[in-house]
Structure 1
C-alpha cells in the first residue's frame, strides 16, 4: 500500500494516482485513435478528469472492451489496420462529428505519424503528443543520430546514410566490424531488425529487414550499427511542456526481450548507480530539448558492461511499459499528457520527483514460447486473474470470451506489480503469475514464471541476450506430470460425476444417501478412469471407500487415498495422501480438463479419443503455423531441396516467419502463391 498525505482516486484496477490539479476546463472530450488496452487505459484517466471519451473500432472490434468503456463509439472500417485504425481522414471526420477537441493516439498505429499530427493541427484539433517537427526528427533513426551527436548525446558507431546500395552497406558493415545490427530507419518494436554475425549473411539480413520494414512502415530504408555484446537496454521516461520545462522520470530496464521485443520490464533498473542514473537522465533531457519536445517520450539507450551508454532511438509517444514508471513515481502520465495538451505546466519539477520502491511489468501474450514465440490467435474461453489492488495492476483490453485476432498485436494484458524493494516485488510478480489462468489458446505465462524465477534474473543479471543465453533452462519443456496432478484430475472427474448425478435428478440431493454415491453393501465399487496427457495414455484404477466420500487411486505403483470438494470460482480443495490443496483451479472445456497445479498448467483429455490424422500432416508436408500472408516463395515445383532450406516466407502478426524444409527431397506441390492469405494449419508445401 502507498502511504501519502494527498488524497487519491481509485482508478484503473485499483492504482491510486496523485496530482496537483484535477480541474480540466479546456478539453472536455477526446477521441482515442487506438484500440485494446491502451485505449482503455487512456479512457480511465480521462473519465477521472471528467473528460468524455470517443472510441473508434474496426469490424473485428465491435464488441471490444474499449468500445464498451467509451462514452461514444464509431465504426471506422474493416479489420485490417490500414483500412481502419490507420485511416487518418476517417479519424479526423469522426472527431469533428463527435465534437471531440483532442485526439490521443495511444501507441502504435498513428502515434508517431508526423503527417497525422500536422493534419490534426490543420483541422483545429489538439494532438495529444509532441509537435510534428519532433516526430519527424526522431522518427528517422538516421536523422535522430545526427541531432544527438550535435546535442552531445553519446551515439553508437554506425552507418545511417542515404545510399542504400548493397556495396555501400557491405563496405560500411566491414568498417564498423561484425557483428552488426541491421535496423529499419523508421518504426520500432523490433520490426525490420536483424543481427548479422558474418559478412556472407549480410545480404540476406538486409533483404529481410527491408521487406519487413516496407510491410510495417511503408519504408524500406535501413541503417547499420555496431552490435554490442552483452548490453542492457535502459530507457529514460521524459516529459516536457510548452513553457520550457523538461524532466525525466527515471529509468526502466527493458533488457529481457524475445524477437527484439520487450517481455519483462522493471523500474528502476537493477545495479544502476545514482551517478549513472543522473548522467543518463540528463542525456535524455538534452535529447528531448534538442528537438523542442513536448509531452511524453522515451529516450532509449544501450548500456554497455563498462557503464558507457549510447543513444539508440527516441519513441515520441507513451510507451507500453509506462505503468511501472507510474508505480515508482506515483504519477499518472496520461493525466500529465492531458495537462500539457491544455498548455499547462508540468505538475512537478525534477527535484520533486522521487523513486518509491520497485515495479515489474510482465507482458502476457498469446504465443507459443516452445515454437520460437510464434504469435497465436483464438478465443479466451476461460480467463481469471489475480485480484487488482493499488500495488497490482492488470492493463488489458480483453475479457473472457473475447478473441485474440490475427489482425492485431497478440498481447492479452500487462501484469504490473509494485513493492518496497526489488526482491519483494519479484516475489509478488511470481505469486501474481501463479494466479493468472487462461484457457483457449497458447500463452507465455508459464515461460514468464520460469524467467522471473531464474537465478540470474533474480540477481538482476539482465542483458538483451538473456533468453538465448539461458535458453536451455528457460525453454525446458513440460514433459512429465506428477502423480498428485493426475490424482487431482481424477478426483475432479469423480466429484463431477456426483455433481452431475445430483443435477440430473438421479440422486435426491435432500437424501442422506446422496453423499454416498458409489456405496455398496459389503463390497466396494471399482472402476478405471482413462486420461490422456500429451501422447501418454493414463489408466487410473479407482476404489470407492465405503464412506462414499473418499477414494483409493492407483497411479503407477502408488496407491493413494483422496478426498475433496468443489470451492468457489472453478476451485477444488483436496487431500491427496498426506498433502492438502486448498484451492486448485480446474477448467473443463468439452472433453479437455485444464488443471493449474504445481504452478504449471496441464491439459488432460477424457474420455480418450483416437483422432484421425490431419490430411495435411503427412510426412514431408509443412502446415502454416498461424494465419498469415505469403510474401516470398524461394522454390518451385520440381526443385530439389535440403533439410533446413528456406522454402517460403510468411508475414503474420506484423512479423516475418521463414518456413524451412523438414527433409531432403523434391518439391511436389505449392498450393499458395505470393500475396495470398493462408489460414491456420493449411498445407504450404509438400516435399517428397
Structure 2
C-alpha cells in the first residue's frame, strides 16, 4: 500500500476520502483553492497545498498544478474523487506516467466510456439493452431530423462528452428538435471542445437507476446493488435511495448481471456505476452511461452493504485483494443533497454560514463540506453536504429521514432543506412511485 494519497478534489468528497485515508494509517494530502482555504477538508488533511484562485478552471482543473503538488509533497497516489478531473483520461495517464498510483479505472477505460456514443456501442456489443438511437455522432440538424423520424419522438439530444446533465435537451417535435440541437451543440463545444452529439429516444416516465460495481485487482467484476437516483432537477441528482422501489427482484437480477458484463467488456478496475433508465411498468431497462469512478451516492451502498468503497478503491489500486462482505443488502437507505440554493427555483445562493447544526443518532451519516463560519462563494459548487439515513426497512428509513431533515439547521444562507422536507411528504415519493419528472411536477417548472 502506498504511504501517502493526494486528494485532487474539494468539499464534502475530499473530506470523505481523507477520512478513510487517515483511518488506514496513510498520509492524506489536500489541495485547495483560495476560496476554499477555510473549509474543513483542508484542516483535516495531514498536509495541504494551495493550487490557485477560486475559479476551478484556474485551480482544481489544472492537471499540471495538481501533479506539481503531488511532486512537492512526495505523494505516492492520487485520488480524484468525483467530478473535476476524475473522468479525465489524459490526466489519469499523466498521473501514471509520473510513477504515481491512480485511484481509479485504467485511463483507457475512462477514454472508452467517456464518450456516450462509444459507450453505447460497446454496451450493445456486450449484450446490454440500449434505447433506440444513433450509432455515430449526429453531424447537423438535417441528419438529426431524419434520425428522429426513424427513432420516434420524443427524443433527447446529449453532448457525447457531457457530464452532470449539462447540455441535455428534449424535443417532442421537429421544431423543438432544431432548438434542442443548437442548445446541445453549443454546450458541447463550450464544455469539451467537441461538437459530437448523441440522439436517443426519450423515456418520459422512466426511473434513473444505477448499479454499483467494483472491478477487482484479479480481473473479477462484482455488483453491489442498485441505487435509485430519479429525483433530479436540471438532470442533477437531489435525492437517492437503495434499493430502488421501482425495480422488482427479477429485473434487479438482470440489471446486476448486465452491470457485471459491462465492467468485464472494458476490463474495468476500481469503483464505477452502470447507469440505466428503467421502465417500471414494463420492468425493462436500457443502458444510459457508465461513470468511471466514485459516485456522490456511494454512501448508500456503504450503509446497506457494510463496506467502505474508498478503502476498496485503495486496495484495488495497490493490487491488494478486496475485503467485501457477504450476504444480501441490509435494510434501506436514503441520501439527500443539501445545496446552497433557493428551494423554489434552485438558483445558487452565496454568503456566510451563520449556523450549522447537524442531526445525529443511529442510522444517520453526514458527509459535510462546510461548517459554521464558512463562506459559500459564487465559484463554489452548491453542494454543501450529503445527509444519509439508514433504517430496517423503507418505512423506518423514511421516518428517520423526516426527523433528520427537520433537525438540520443551516442559517445565514438559503438552502434546499425546505424543498427536501416537502419531497419527503410528497405522496409519490412516500409511496416510491415517482420518476425523473417528479421535481418538475412539484414545482410546475
* TM-score clears 0.5: yes
In our comparison, the structure showing a higher alpha carbon Rg is 1
- Match for residue 348 of structure 1 among 324, 331, 349: 324
Q: Corresponding residue for 1:189? A: 164
CA contact (8 A) 1:33 1:55 kept: yes
- Per the TM alignment, residue 163 of structure 1 is displaced from its structure 2 partner at its CA by 4.2
Q: Corresponding residue for 2:385? A: 413
- Per the TM alignment, residue 212 of structure 1 is displaced from its structure 2 partner at its CA by 2.4
Per-residue CA deviation, residues 363-407 of structure 1 (Å, 9 max, x unaligned), is 111111323x112222212221212x4511111110111111211
Q: Corresponding residue for 1:368? A: 342
Q: Distance in 1 between matches of 2:188 and 2:375?
A: 27
User: What TM-score do you get using the length of structure 1 for normalisation?
Assistant: 0.63
Q: Corresponding residue for 2:32? A: 57
Q: Corresponding residue for 1:44? A: 19
Per-residue CA deviation, residues 80-102 of structure 1 (Å, 9 max, x unaligned), is 11111011111111112111100
- Match for residue 245 of structure 1 among 215, 220, 238: 220
User: What TM-score do you get using the length of structure 2 for normalisation?
Assistant: 0.97
Q: 1:314 to 1:447 in 2, by over 3 A?
A: same
Per-residue CA deviation, residues 23-42 of structure 1 (Å, 9 max, x unaligned), is xxx21100000000000000
3-state SS of 2:64 partner: helix
Q: Distance in 2 between matches of 1:217 and 1:440?
A: 36
* Higher helix content, 1 or 2: 2
Report the number of matched residues.
444
- Per the TM alignment, residue 169 of structure 1 is displaced from its structure 2 partner at its CA by 1.4
Structure 1 unmatched ranges of 5 or more: 1-25, 476-688
1:318 aligned onto 2:318: no
Structure 2 unmatched ranges of 5 or more: none
- Per the TM alignment, residue 420 of structure 1 is displaced from its structure 2 partner at its CA by 0.2
Per-residue CA deviation, residues 257-311 of structure 1 (Å, 9 max, x unaligned), is 1111111100011142222111100000100110000000000000012011000
Q: Distance in 2 between matches of 1:244 and 1:85?
A: 31
Q: Distance in 1 between matches of 2:156 and 2:211?
A: 22
3-state SS of 1:243 partner: coil
Q: Distance in 1 between matches of 2:324 and 2:253?
A: 17
Q: Corresponding residue for 1:206? A: 181
- Match for residue 307 of structure 1 among 260, 263, 283: 283
* Higher strand content, 1 or 2: 1
- Per the TM alignment, residue 354 of structure 1 is displaced from its structure 2 partner at its CA by 1.7
Q: Distance in 1 between matches of 2:394 and 2:188?
A: 37
- Per the TM alignment, residue 327 of structure 1 is displaced from its structure 2 partner at its CA by 0.5
- Per the TM alignment, residue 160 of structure 1 is displaced from its structure 2 partner at its CA by 4.3
> Runs (4+) of structure 1 moved beyond 4 Å?
none
3-state SS of 1:156 partner: coil
3-state SS of 2:28 partner: strand
Question: RMSD over aligned Cα, in angstroms?
Answer: 1.4
- Match for residue 353 of structure 2 among 343, 355, 380: 380
- Match for residue 211 of structure 2 among 224, 232, 236: 236
- Per the TM alignment, residue 471 of structure 1 is displaced from its structure 2 partner at its CA by 3.5
Mapping 1:539-688, distance limit 5 Å? none
Q: Distance in 1 between matches of 2:224 and 2:92?
A: 25
- Per the TM alignment, residue 470 of structure 1 is displaced from its structure 2 partner at its CA by 3.8
